[in-house]
Structure 1
């Protein structure tokens, strides 16, 4: 079993992480404060919103939790006004993005599984929850989304992490432990993939 407080804290951490990655990307794209807030908002809440729409779960998460858009607005103001924070570089996106990917993949999969859907459907909704916000962020910033780049392992890590969570939940009957294992796997796998340039496909060697 799990405490609702733990899930709420996880959601908050995930929203902060994804919002920060969105603000860094918006700054790189030379957006104004409104653009920074908008990109942060869709990055942090886009995946969960799409999940709720697909599952007909209304009102969607951020309407039920008004404090989350307010949190993102405060973050955007601080990011705009605080020079040290606004100087964060694009390379600093990797860690908060990995944390957001892990948290929202797990929470999306768990939410869907608890509604009685199969492991496969829950894994797809987990991937959607974890990746759609980042895809919106990159698209609005005129970048190819991580999920579609052949030099990035992204959705595959989310998908594998969801299945690891299901297996651990079934084997241990401890949802909190299973969530932690799946989350740590996704974050670690994503960071290692970036650090060691691990990818599913490499360009053919033009010299044979």
Structure 2
């Protein structure tokens, strides 16, 4: 049976792992470092979500193919001869996809466990942003969620609420999930592309 949730989860893991590995390589990390940063970026948010919701075992222990996939990706990425050409600015698309996927899946799980829309949206944002925050912190960067020049957590929050409304109106699992993920990813990419911010300094007026 086609499982849209599992498919999206794997897409998010691949996207976030790629973003973490690009940053790790830009910081001249060895294969162990590349795997570690990729793993934390891809699975950190979902792990925090499961711990808060007391949802055990956490999802990547239940699905061991996920850390195995990240390990294989890290090995291939570490020995890819063009990896050193990649720059941290190139993580925008995979990071946006990962943000969209895990924000919506985190919110959906919270709803499935009986929590309100408000609590589900907070958990969605946490799931979508925590892995990237850990990635940036470990790589000695200011996490994107805390940067004044970034539209990040706000996009995740808005996308979760769009998902809730679409789900209540459409009553279909796949379409609301797709709409929510696409909204977050596209708005995030456009915000970076066109320098859209929630707040601007005087010198950016």
TM range (shorter): over 0.9
TM-superposed CA distance for 1:87, in Å, is 2.8
List gaps (5 residues or longer) in structure 2: none
The TM-score, its normalising length taken from structure 1, stands at: 0.95
Q: Which residue of 1 aligns with 2:71?
A: 73
Equivalence map 1:116-155=2 (5 Å): 116-155=114-153
| Cα distance in 1, alignment partners of residues 184 and 83 from structure 2 | 26
What's the secondary structure of 1:83's corresponding residue?
A: coil
What per-residue deviation string (whole Å, max 9, x for no partner) do you get for residues 62-107 of structure 1? Answer: 1111111110000000001111245322221000000000000110
| Cα distance in 1, alignment partners of residues 164 and 139 from structure 2 | 34
Please say if residues 45 and 130 of structure 2, whose CA atoms lie closer than 8 Å, have aligned partners that are also in contact: yes
Please say if residues 43 and 136 of structure 1, whose CA atoms lie closer than 8 Å, have aligned partners that are also in contact: yes
Please say if residues 25 and 83 of structure 2, whose CA atoms lie closer than 8 Å, have aligned partners that are also in contact: no
| Cα distance in 1, alignment partners of residues 27 and 87 from structure 2 | 12
Equivalence map 1:90-101=2 (5 Å): 90-101=88-99
TM-superposed CA distance for 1:4, in Å, is 6.0
What's the secondary structure of 2:82's corresponding residue?
A: helix
Please say if residues 104 and 163 of structure 2, whose CA atoms lie closer than 8 Å, have aligned partners that are also in contact: yes
Q: Which residue of 2 aligns with 1:37?
A: 35
Given candidates 38, 49, 58, the residue that maps to 2:47 is 49
Give the 4+ runs in structure 1 shifted more than 4 A: none
Equivalence map 1:1-208=2 (5 Å): 5-205=3-203
TM-superposed CA distance for 1:155, in Å, is 0.2
What per-residue deviation string (whole Å, max 9, x for no partner) do you get for residues 149-175 of structure 1? Answer: 000000000000000000111111112
What per-residue deviation string (whole Å, max 9, x for no partner) do you get for residues 42-75 of structure 1? Answer: 0000000000000001111111111111100000
| Cα distance in 2, alignment partners of residues 148 and 205 from structure 1 | 19
The TM-score, its normalising length taken from structure 2, stands at: 0.96
| Cα distance in 2, alignment partners of residues 175 and 80 from structure 1 | 37
CA RMSD of aligned residues (A): 1.4
